[in-house]
Amino acid sequence: MDDAWVDRWNDRYSTNEFAYGEQPNNYLKEQLTPLGTGTILFPAEGEGRNAVFAAKLGWKVSAFDISTEGKNKAIQLAIHNQVSIDYQVGELQDLNYKAGQFDAIALIYAHFPSSIKSTYHKTLSHYLCKGGLVIFEAFSKKHLHYIAANEKIGGPKEIDMLFSMEEIKADFEDYEIIVLEEKEIELNEGLFHNGLGSVIRFVGRKK
């Protein structure tokens, strides 16, 4: 990822206010709360709202992002909530995760550049144990129409960074599909996710 990409996210996370709020994503909350705890990884975790939520449930939490400012906010949020998270800054190929290390991976609005997003998904899958879960929510390719109607909903404006169900099936082909759907939802997450949007939701168990 180039410097402009890193600078964009450092700029977004550099203010005192949390860009996407301090509360967890509703779908993550719905999926994670009934589960037993274990080890979980949050890619592209930004300011830490979801990682901190998982830590409060008792999960052993790892997270990463390219943004130092995001990490700083996440650690601040973790301290405020009296929990601990392991948060690394860097690109996935430079981090030290191990095969089968995690019981769950939560991809919540983890919109990686189009040139690497499938590679990242397949690499992340390598770090998930057999029987482990992927929990995924991100904007669908139909979301461009929602941005045109309301820019406050946020999300990438490049269609190749958005998702289809076919892409998810291809990226996570060796998975039992528990949930896979495209859905219109109402978001109210901080400053940058507000209004109606179109999302892909996926929960899969690694075979």
Check residue 60 and give its pLDDT. Answer: 98
**What is the model's pTM?**
0.97
Instruction: Return d(Cα 34, Cα 32) in angstroms, integer.
Output: 6
Cβ neighbours for 66, distance < 8 A, ≥ 6 positions apart:
1, 5, 6, 9, 44, 89, 90, 91
Report whether pLDDT(18) > 90.
Answer: yes
143 — pLDDT class (breaks 50, 70, 90)? very high
Instruction: Return d(Cα 68, Cα 199) in angstroms, integer.
Output: 27
- Residue pLDDT, tens place only, 83-139: 999 999 999 999 999 999 999 999 999 999 999 999 999 999 999 999 999 999 999
Check residue 133 and give its pLDDT. Answer: 98
Check residue 2 and give its pLDDT. Answer: 79
> CB of 78 within 8 A of CB of 48?
yes
Closest CA to 12 of 148, 162, 197, 193: 193
Check residue 185 and give its pLDDT. Answer: 98
- Residue pLDDT, tens place only, 55-70: 999 999 999 999 999 9
- Residue pLDDT, tens place only, 32-58: 999 999 999 999 999 999 999 999 999
Report whether pLDDT(187) > 80.
Answer: yes
Report whether pLDDT(82) > 90.
Answer: yes
Instruction: Return d(Cα 45, Cα 121) in angstroms, integer.
Output: 15
